[in-house]
Amino acid sequence: EADIYQTPRYLVIGTGKKITLECSQTMGHDKMYWYQQDPGMELHLIHYSYGVNSTEKGDLSSESTVSRIRTEHFPLTLESARPSHTSQYLCASSESVNQPQHFGDGTRLSIL
Amino acid sequence: TQLLEQSPQFLSIQEGENLTVYCNSSSVFSSLQWYRQEPGEGPVLLVTVVTGGEVKKLKRLTFQFGDARKDSSLHITAAQTGDTGLYLCAGVRNQAGTALIFGKGTTLSVSS
C-alpha cells in the first residue's frame, strides 16, 4: 500500500499556466525530496527538505519552487509552465538521509 | 562527473537467462541501496547492503557489496518477464550527505 501520495497522476496543460503538484506522506518522515525523471532515465534531484520550514535546491537547476509548512505535505509549484517542463516528477520521503526513500507513483506532466 | 556508474545501460534477454548488472564508483559508500522501477510507477526499494563483502539474496536476486564498499552487483537467476524494469543503485556517502546519490540505472527487458 502507498504511504506517499502524489496528485495528479497525469496533467496536460497549456503554456503559461501556474501548476502545483501535490505530495503527501503519512509516515511522519522529516526528509522529503522531489526528483525529475524523463521516461526510463535517471533521477535528478531538484528539491529537498529536512523538515518544516526547511527547503533546499537539489543538483539539477529547476524553475520550480517548493514549500514545507507541514511535515506531511511538500508541494511543488511552477509559476508559469513551459514545454521544457514536460517530464515526470517523483516525490519521496525518508526517515533520515541514509535510510531508504519511499517514492510516490509520480506526476506525468505535459505542457503544450 | 557521475559518482555511481551503472552498466549495462540497457539489457534485453529471454526468459530463463541469467544476468548481472553492476554499480561502480571510485568513492566509498557507507551503504548502497538497490531499487526497481516499473513503467508508470515510482522506484521501490529491493535491498540495502551495508557491510563490505556482504551478500544478500531476495528469491532469484542476489546482491553483493564490494569488499571496499565502492561497488555492488545484482545477479538475477532465471529471469522472468516480471523482472522487466529500471534497476537503480543509490549510495550513501557518509552521515553528512545531503541525500542519496543515484546511478543512471539499467533498463532490463525480459521477453518470453
Find chain B residues with C-beta within 8 A of A45's C-beta: 99, 102
Q: What is the average pLDDT across B92-100?
A: 65
Please say if the pLDDT value at position A90 is more than 60: yes
* Residue A75 · residue A22 · CB < 8 Å: yes
pLDDT value at residue A91: 97
Residues 18-47 of B with CB under 8 A from A: 30-31, 33, 39-45
Interatomic CA distance for residues B33 and A99, integer angstroms? 9
C-alpha cell at A73: 505535505
Q: How confident is the model at residue B40 (pLDDT cuts 50, 70, 90)?
A: confident
Asked whether residue B58 is domain-assigned, the answer is yes
Interatomic CA distance for residues A25 and A4, integer angstroms? 4
Q: Which of the given ranges, A9-18, A95-104, B93-102, has the highest pLDDT on average?
A: A9-18
Find chain A residues with C-beta within 8 A of B98's C-beta: 48, 56, 97
pLDDT value at residue A2: 61
pLDDT value at residue B96: 54
**Residue A106 backbone dihedrals phi, psi, to 5 degrees:** 90, 160
Asked whether residue B69 is domain-assigned, the answer is yes
Asked whether residue B14 is domain-assigned, the answer is yes
pLDDT value at residue A23: 98
Q: How confident is the model at residue A1 (pLDDT cuts 50, 70, 90)?
A: low
Q: Beta strands A107-111 and B10-14: pairing type?
A: unpaired
Asked whether residue B41 is domain-assigned, the answer is yes
SS3 sequence, A62-80?
A: CCCEECCCECCECCEEECC
Q: How confident is the model at residue B98 (pLDDT cuts 50, 70, 90)?
A: low
Averaged pLDDT score across all residues of chain B: 92
Q: Give the single-character DSSP code of B77.
A: S
CATH number of the domain encompassing residue B72:
2.60.40.10
Q: What is the average pLDDT across A94-110?
A: 92
Please say if the pLDDT value at position B39 is more than 90: no
Q: Does B105 touch chain A (CB under 8 A)?
A: yes
Q: What is the average pLDDT across B76-94?
A: 92
Asked whether residue B51 is domain-assigned, the answer is yes
Find chain B residues with C-beta within 8 A of A102's C-beta: 45
CA dihedral for B93, B46, A72, A62, sign (positive or negative): positive
Question: Under an 8 A CB cutoff, do B104 and A42 touch?
Answer: yes
Q: Does B99 touch chain A (CB under 8 A)?
A: yes
Q: What is the average pLDDT across B16-26?
A: 97
Domain count for chain B: 1
Domain of B102? Answer: 10-111
pLDDT value at residue B92: 80
Q: How confident is the model at residue B68 (pLDDT cuts 50, 70, 90)?
A: very high
**What is the assigned CATH class of domain A6-111?**
mainly beta
Please say if the pLDDT value at position B2 is more than 80: no
Q: What is the identity of the amino acid at B74?
A: L
Q: Does B104 touch chain A (CB under 8 A)?
A: yes
Domains of chain A by residue range:
6-111
* Residue A100 · residue B46 · CB < 8 Å: no
C-alpha cell at A102: 519511499
Q: What is the average pLDDT across B14-19?
A: 98
Asked whether residue B5 is domain-assigned, the answer is no
Interface A-B, measured as beta-carbon pairs within 8 A, has a size of: 57
Alpha-carbon distance values, B28 to A21, B4, B24, B92 (Å) = 35, 10, 10, 9
Asked whether residue B54 is domain-assigned, the answer is yes
Please say if the pLDDT value at position B95 is more than 80: no
- Chain A nearest-CA residue for B6: A42
Q: Does A95 touch chain B (CB under 8 A)?
A: no
Q: How confident is the model at residue A42 (pLDDT cuts 50, 70, 90)?
A: confident
CA dihedral for A99, B29, A90, A14, sign (positive or negative): positive
